[in-house]
């Protein structure tokens, strides 16, 4: 029996230096990253064993590593995270990564700018 389920890791928060403007590269900003993955959770539902599921601590480590590398575009950051997750977790059927920048530098009020990438095998 197959039990496709969802594992999420939301609100991972980082101080990072992503952006096109010089001030963003120097001062940095607050970013959040959200992960949502779908996979077969049948074995984990029966076994209660971490080896039978996706270790979200490992997802966090991948995200933290990629967030530490400055990029001009959120699309690039999200793309690197997707590529690293894809390479490390073949059991994922599909997943998404959302990268959000707090108070982006625009000529007006904006709480967040966001990029979401979806990946499906």
Q: Is 25 labeled as catalytic in the residue annotation?
A: no
**Active-site option among 15, 101, 102, 120:** 101
Distance between CA atoms of 82 and 96, rounded to whole angstroms? 8
Q: How far apart are CA 25 and CA 87, in angstroms?
A: 29
Q: HSE, CB side, 13 Å, CA atoms: give it for residue 60.
A: 10
Q: Which active-site residues does the annotation give?
A: 101
């Amino acid at each position: 029996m197959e039990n496709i389920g969802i594992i999420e890791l939301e609100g991972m928060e980082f101080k990072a230096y992503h952006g096109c403007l010089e001030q963003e590269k120097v001062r940095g900003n607050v970013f959040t990253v959200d992960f949502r993955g779908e996979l077969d959770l049948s074995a984990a539902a029966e076994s209660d064993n971490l080896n039978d599921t996706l270790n979200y601590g490992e997802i966090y480590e991948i995200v933290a590593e990629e967030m530490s590398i400055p990029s001009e575009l959120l699309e690039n950051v999200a793309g690197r995270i997707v590529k690293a997750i894809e390479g490390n977790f073949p059991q994922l059927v599909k997943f998404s990564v959302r990268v959000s920048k707090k108070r982006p530098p625009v000529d007006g009020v904006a709480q967040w700018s966001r990029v979401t990438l979806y990946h499906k095998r």
